[in-house]
A = this chain, B = another copy of it.
Amino acid sequence: MKCRKCGGQAVLELRRHNAAFCAPDFQEFFRRQVTEAIRKHRMFTREEPVLVAVSGGKDSLALWDVLSDEGYTTTGLYLNLGIFDYSRESRAKCEAFAADRGLKLSVVDVEALVGAPIPEVQHATRRPTCSACGLSKRYLLNKAALEHGFAVVATGHNLDDEAATLFGSTLRWQTDALSRQSPLLPSTHPKLVRRVKPLYRLSELETAAFAFLRGIDYIVDECPFSRGATSLVYKEILNRLEAASPGAKHNFVYGFLERGRAAFEQLENVTLRECARCGQVTTGVLCAFCKLADQVKRAR
């Protein structure tokens, strides 16, 4: 197998691109996919400081690595979810990564803000654990960005993540979720920062290979609560489709962005207001995070 670019020995075959690359050319390809995502969706400029949400996993650290290498001004944000060893270890990975490269890292403690660590939050709500955790992460990321003056938050969601989310929304035809799925969620209210996913063009395999080749020390374990999560069932199904027909995930996500999404955007039209409690953005009177925090308080 020869590298598409230099003709040397390839280390990685990308079937959906019908290509193979040597280690240096794969890294170049990877970086180009990230910068192409940023350019195509006008995610941010070189002048804008970017808050990068880092979990200690391969995706977010690979993203932070590329953005800082490409000369963007970045600050990492680690949300401490209080999930036992998993949180302790993943935090240490983020801190070591930042220290090695002289990058700034903020740490926000979820327990202090929602009233309990994530393992306890699940007892206080009827939501599945991943749902309460995702809600809290979106809320706290936005809050941290606002407080520190960032106009944009970047997350490490990759092509597999996007395909799995899209798959779940499509199976249930959740038109509100479908109208909002995009690599760029613009700020539609002064209290809502722009959210971007610069890795949406890269598969999980590709981010893992990049992190490995770059010698990034990341946490390999998955969150202990993710076992049995629906998103993992969807990923497994999509992997089987991909094996049968390389490019299936890519076509599903890109086709949605090019043709599907527009259909749902015209259906949805929501009015955003500020939460009566915390002032962050919501479509109701109290935001979902404040309601969750109330449930946690009552349960304690």
Spell out A's residues near B (CB within 8 Å): 170-173, 175, 230, 233, 237, 240-241, 244-245, 248, 251-252, 255-256, 258-260, 262-264, 266-267
Contacts and interface: CB of A to CB of B under 8 A. Distances in A.
B170 A170 contact: yes
A269 B205 CA distance: 40
Contacts of A266: 263, 266
A241 B237 CA distance: 8
Give how many copies assemble into the complex.
2
Contacts of A241: 171, 233, 237
Contact of A175 (B237, B248, B252, B260): B260
A263 B175 contact: yes
A171 B263 contact: no
Nearest to A244: B233
11 contacts: A170-B170, A171-B251, A171-B252, A171-B255, A172-B251, A172-B255, A173-B252, A173-B258, A175-B260, A263-B264, A266-B266
A262 B233 CA distance: 28
A173 B240 contact: no
